[in-house]
Amino acid sequence: MAGFQIQPPSWGEPITVENGRLVIPDKPIILYIEGDGIGPEVVTSMRRVLDAAVAKAYGGRRKIAWTEVLAGERAGEVYGKVLPEETLDAIRQYYIGIKGPLTTPVGGGYRSLNVAIRKALDLYANVRPSRYFTGVPSPIKHPERVNMVVFRENTEDVYAGIEWPYNSPEADKIRAFLKQEFGIQLREDAGIGLKPISEFGTKRLVRKAIRYAIERKRPSVTLVHKGNIMKYTEGAFRDWGYEVAREEFGEYTITEQELWEKYNGQVPEGKVVIKDRIADNMLQQILTRTAEYSVLATPNLNGDYISDAISGLVGGLGLAPGGNIGDVHAVFEPVHGTAPKYAGKNVINPTAEILSGALMLEHMGWFEAADLIYQAVEKTISAKQVTQDLARHMEGVKPLSTTEYTDALIANL
């Protein structure tokens, strides 16, 4: 392609897969997409911090072979296409990527590129950790109790996007079908959407959440659903979730009911407690019983609401990382968008992108480097070295630019 080539450094080694598990070499090829708006600034900052953390943790033994691929506006200029097949193929081939935000035009233009990437690669788990860093302004009294990871299903539920306008021929047909076959009378002016939740989709998501909890020694996994009202979608999500815990992880898990009936409320050593909560109550519980929740597994829409609510407790968008993870492929990205009004101004907070990078390092098993990053973020923010989004909520604090903040983080590694 004229003007751009996907070119891993000659010393880079491809990640491979053996028996369904990633094998990470010491010099892995990792793809990155700079993205639009503030994307290039946060991605540059993230790469600098990850390189420094990896060098510090492993000396010269390990190093990331960064390899750029394009999506978004730059891809449009180079390829004439905002999501080139070559980019998707590269992710298929190299397994792991990290991206900056991409523009989604409102009301027209193309559909969300983020959604397209998740769909094309079947990245079915949207993973969103939220934790507190000392000094971050928070609306609650005990933000230090927040340490939760949401596993949100990424392919079903309302995200499947199956819906029709009220006045479409499809909606007419469905109304007629429902009336004739089931005697269900819908209003003539009702738009219609479908909410599919399958056993397959639920189990692979919950399996990932439970495996994560076991491997990271997390105390519990909570299934969040609205099964009291939607019994065969949300309720089934809960039932299939318990089933997967019992049938595949019986040795490592107990239910909350067993905890009280058999163990008098004392969690036996090494067991993960599986519990469930109705979604509306869950939104209250994260405020009133914050410390009791660790890993949450949710259908798509509940996860959307709950993960934003949790991240709002500990610093909001500038600090909220994420990852979209499939069986072997994964693309990490911050929750925030392209914040176009700040693009090129060197003022935005790159922490969400950096923490997405740390999440990626954990996914690769490079925990030492990830921990260095968490410690550096803690040290930097608690010393009131912050960008304007946080400084404006802190008294008498002069904001750092994006590059000054990145320098401070690296110095604190």
Applying CB under 6 A, the residues found at the interface with ligand NAP are 101-104, 114, 317-318, 333, 336-339, 348-349, 352, 389
Concerning whether 159 is annotated as a catalytic residue, the answer is yes
Q: Which residues of 354-385 are buried (b: 16+ CB within 10 A; e: fewer)?
A: bbbbbbbbbbbebeebbebbeebbbbbbeeeb
Catalytic residue among 51, 122, 172, 280: 280
Concerning whether 280 is annotated as a catalytic residue, the answer is yes
Of 292 and 308, nearer to ligand NAP (C-beta) is 308
Of 282 and 360, nearer to ligand NAP (C-beta) is 360
Smallest separation, CB 210 to ligand NAP (Å): 26
Mode of pairing for the β-strands spanning 272-278 and 220-225: parallel
Crossing angle for the helix pair 367-382 and 351-363, to the nearest 10 degrees: 160
Of 356 and 412, nearer to ligand NAP (C-beta) is 356
Q: Is the distance from CB of 212 to CB of 245 less than 8 angstroms?
A: no
Mode of pairing for the β-strands spanning 253-255 and 272-278: parallel
Q: Which residue is nearest to ligand NAP (CB)?
A: 337
Exposure of 73 by Cβ count < 10 A (0-12 exposed, 13-18 middle, 19+ buried)? middle
Of 253 and 402, nearer to ligand NAP (C-beta) is 402
The H-or-E segment that residue 131 falls in is strand 125-131
Concerning whether 371 is annotated as a catalytic residue, the answer is no
Cβ neighbours around 158 below 10 Å, total:
15
DSSP letters, 176-231, are HHHHHHH-----TT--EE-----HHHHHHHHHHHHHHHHHTT-SEEEEEE-TTT-I
Of 73 and 327, nearer to ligand NAP (C-beta) is 73
Catalytic residue among 99, 226, 271, 379: 226
Concerning whether 389 is annotated as a catalytic residue, the answer is no
Mode of pairing for the β-strands spanning 295-298 and 272-278: unpaired
Q: And the tokens for 28?
A: 């892995």
Smallest separation, CB 170 to ligand NAP (Å): 26
Of 67 and 103, nearer to ligand NAP (C-beta) is 103
Q: Is the distance from CB of 152 to CB of 307 less than 8 angstroms?
A: yes
Q: CA 270 → CA 185, 213, 214, 215, distances in Å?
A: 52, 11, 8, 10
Q: Is 99 helix (H, G, I), strand (E, B) or coil?
A: strand
Of 296 and 352, nearer to ligand NAP (C-beta) is 352
Q: CA 371 → CA 254, 305, 355, 406, distances in Å?
A: 29, 28, 10, 17
Catalytic residue among 159, 212, 293, 405: 159
Cβ neighbours around 115 below 10 Å, total:
15
Active site residues: 159, 226, 280, 304
